[in-house]
Chains A and B, each alone.
Chain A
Amino acid sequence: MSRILRIELRRSAAIGAVLILVLAGAVLLYAAPKRWAPGWMSLAMIQREYLVLLWPLALAAGAWQARREHRSNVAELFASTARPRAQRMVPALGAMGVAAACAYLAVAAVAAPWIIDTARYLPATAFVVVAVGALAMVAAAWLGLAVGRLLPSLITAPALAVAGIGLLMVIPAATRSREWLALVFSPMYGMGQYTDYQTVYGRVSAAQAVWLVALAAAAAVLLASGDWRTRVAALLPAVLGAGLAIMIIPRNDEFVSNPVDPVAQEQVCADGSPRVCVSRVHSGLLPEAAPLARQALEMLAKLPNPPTTVHEDTTTFYPDTSPPRQADVVLMSISVDKDGHLARKAEILPRMLFNAGADMSGCDDSWNLAVSRAAGYWLMGREPGPDYFQASPEENAEAAKLWQGLRSLPEQEAAARVGAVRRAALACEKLDGLLTASAR
C-alpha cells in the first residue's frame, strides 16, 4: 500500500498542490509578520485565520485532482477492473490528504524560524490549534475530490473555491448572535488576535475536530459511492458530526469570545534585583525589557516610598480586564514588533513614568495630561518634548510650565509633590493642581 501511495503522490496533483499552498500561505504570513510575531500561539491562530484563502484553494486542488480519470478518458477502463470502487479511491484520498496536511504544516514550519529566538511559551493548545487547521485542509481536499468526481468539469475547481471562500465569509454574518455556531463550522472564525494572551479553548477545538472529521468522512463516502443511495448516505456522517460538534462546543452563556490564557499572562521574573517581571508569553523579551524597567525604577527611587517591582501590564480590552493597582508595582506595557522583539522602545520609559509610575487606564476622568507628563519628565530629568502622546504645542507648554515649577523647587519638595501625584493616581483621584500646591 505504501508503494501505491508513493506512486500516487508522485503522479497526482499532490506535489503541485503542496507547492502552491505553501507559497500562498508563506506569502500571506510574511506579508504581515507583526500579527504573529508575538509567540507560538499567535502564529498558530493567525495561520488558522489564513485558512480563509488556503481552505478554498485546498477544495480547488481536490476538485482538480478528481478530474484526472475523466481528463484521461479512462473512467470506463478503470470501472472494468475487478476492484471495488472504494478501494480504488483510497490512494487518491491518501495522497491528497497527506498533501493538504503537509502543506499546512509546512507553512507553519516556514514561519517558525522567524520567531524561534524570541518565542518561549509553547502551550500544548498551540499544537491542537495547528492540528485542527491541518484537519480542515484534509477535509477540504477530500470534499474537493468528491465534488470534482461528481461534476468532472473544468469549471468545478474554480467554482468550488469561490463557493468555499463565499461560505467562509458568509458564515459569521449568517450565524449573527450565535457566535459559537460560526466557530463550529468555520475553521478560521474567531482566530484574530486582540491580545498576545489569547487562546482557543480545548472544547472549541474538540468540537471543530469532530465536525471536520465528520466532513472528511462524508467526503470519502461520497467519493467512493457508485450510486445515489450511498451518496445520500454520505449525509449521515455530516449530520451526525454537526450534531455532536454542536453538543460539545460551549454555547450561549458558557461561550467566551476571544478567551485569554491565564498561564500566558502569569508573570515571569528576571534574575537579580530589583524584580522585573513580564508575562509568560513575552518571557523571551525579558533581557530586552529588564534594563529599561530597572532604569525606570531607578528614576522613581527619588520619590518617598518608591515602587520596587515592575510587572507587565496585562490589560486586555476584549474582555476588559486589567491587573490591580499596587503601590509597590510599576506596570510596563509590552508590545512586540514584526521581528518578535520589543517594539517602540523609546516609548516604554515615558509610558512607565507618566503619572509618576501609576497606571490610570481604569480611571475615567481624573486624568490630567499636563500634570501627568510634567511628573514623568521631572522623573526622567528632561524637558517635556515630543513623545508618543503627541500633545499639541499648547498642551506641551502647559506641561513645560509645571515642569519648570518643579525644577525651581528644592529637590525634596518636588519629590514630595510628584509622590503625591503617584498616590492620587493609584487611588484614581484628581491630579489637578497637585504639582503647584504644597503637597502636605
Chain B
Amino acid sequence: MRWLTLYLRSRRVPIALAAAAGCTAAMWSLWSVSSNAREVGVPMVILTVLLLVASVTATLAGPDEALDRTAALPWPPLRAAHLLAALAVVVVLLLATLITGARFGPAWLVIRDAVGLLGLTALGAVTIGASRSWFLPLGWTLASVVFTLSGTTTSAIITWQVQDPGNKPAAVTAALLGVGGLIAYAAAGPARRAPAEAAL
C-alpha cells in the first residue's frame, strides 16, 4: 500500500485525476448550460475524450525515468496496469455522465476513442516522451472533427475518431492503436530524457 501511494505520488496521479474530473465537469456544465438536449453533441464528446486522455498523459512518465528503471520491479506488467487504469478512469468518468442530464455517449464511441487515443498517446510517450505525447492525438483528432471523411474504408481509417460507433474500420484502427500502444509502452516504457526536462 505504501508503495502504491509513493508510486501514484511520483506519477502525479492525484493532479491528473483532478484535471480529468475538472475537464469532465467543465464540459458537462458547458453542455448543460448551452443546450436542452440530453445527448451531448458528438464533436463535444470526442473533444472531451481527447481532453481526458491528454490529462492522464502526465502520469505516463515519472520525474526520472532512468532512476525508475534501476528498481528491481517487474516494470512491463506495472506499466500495462497503469495504462489500463488510465483507460478505466477516462471511460468511467464519461460513462458516469450517462445517468445524468447531459449524456456523453454513445458508450461504444467513448470506449473506442479512449482506447485509440490512449494507445496513440502511449506510442508517443515511447517515442517522443510523455510530455510531448499529446501532440499527435490532439492534431489528428482536431483535424478529424473539422474535416470528417466518410464513405470509404480509407476515409474511415483516416478519421476514425469521428465515425459512427458501429463503423468496423474505425474500430479496428482504434483497437490496433490501443493494443500497439499498450504493448510498446509495457515493453519499452516512456522515452528517457534528462531529469530536468522530464520534470512535469
- Checking B15, B43, B51, B143 against A158 with a beta-carbon cut-off of 8 angstroms, the contacting residue is B51
Verify A71–B58 contact, CB threshold 8 A: no
A24–B143 contact, CB under 8 A? Answer: yes
Residues on A with beta carbons closer than 8 Å to the beta carbon of B143: 24, 28, 53
Set B19, B43, B135: member contacting A155, Cβ < 8 A: B19
Candidates B19, B47, B138; contact of A153 at CB < 8 Å: B19
Residues on A with beta carbons closer than 8 Å to the beta carbon of B199: 71-73
Given A20-B135, A159-B23, A161-B138, decide whether A166 and B200 contact each other with a Cβ distance below 8 A: no
Instruction: Evaluate contact between B135 and A162: CB separation under 8 angstroms.
Output: no
CA distance A241 to B13 in the complex (A): 42
Bitwise interface map of B from 19 to 61 toward A, beta carbon under 8 Å scored 1, else 0: 1000100000000000000000001100100110011011000
Chain B: minimal CB distance from A66 (Å) = 14
A162's nearest neighbour on chain B, judged by CB, is: B47
Report B-chain residues with C-beta under 8 Å of the C-beta of A155: 19, 23, 51, 54-55, 58
Q: Bound complex: CA of A28 vs CA of B140, how far in Å?
A: 12
When C-beta atoms are compared, the residue in chain B nearest to A73 turns out to be B199
Known: A53-B143, A154-B58. A72 touches B47 (CB 8 A): no
- Nearest-neighbour CB distance to chain B for A59, whole angstroms, equals 11
Identify the closest chain A residue to B130 (Cβ): A154
Are A28 and B58 in contact, CB atoms less than 8 angstroms apart?
A: no
**Which residue, of A52, A158, A165, A166, has the highest number of chain B Cβ atoms within 10 A?**
A158
- Complex Cα distance, B140 from A56, in Å, reads 13
Residues of A in contact with B, size category: 20 to 34
Q: Number of residues in B with C-beta < 8 Å to the partner?
A: 26
Given contacts A154-B131, A155-B55, A159-B23, contact A53 B146 (CB under 8 A): yes
Q: Does B6 contact A (CB under 8 A)?
A: no
Q: Is the CB of B145 within 8 A of A165?
A: yes
Smallest CB-CB separation from A23: which chain B residue? B139
Chain A nearest Cβ from B142, distance in angstroms = 5
Contact A162 B147 (CB under 8 A): no
Q: How far is the CB of B167 from chain A (nearest CB, A)?
A: 20
Task: Give the chain A neighbours of B55 by CB distance below 8 A.
Answer: 155
B19 and A166 contacting across the interface, CB-CB below 8 Å? no
With A20-B135, A24-B143 already in contact, the answer to whether A158 and B19 are too (CB < 8 A) is no
Give A residues with C-beta under 8 Å from B: 20, 24, 28, 31, 52-53, 56-57, 60, 71-73, 153-155, 157-159, 161-162, 165-166, 169
Ranked 9 nearest A-B pairs via Cβ: A158-B54, A154-B58, A155-B55, A158-B134, A158-B138, A162-B47, A155-B19, A52-B146, A165-B142
- Known: A53-B142, A159-B54, A161-B138; 16 extra A-B contacts, CB below 8 A, are A20-B135, A52-B146, A71-B197, A72-B199, A73-B196, A153-B19, A153-B58, A155-B23, A155-B51, A155-B58, A158-B138, A159-B23, A159-B51, A162-B47, A162-B138, A169-B43
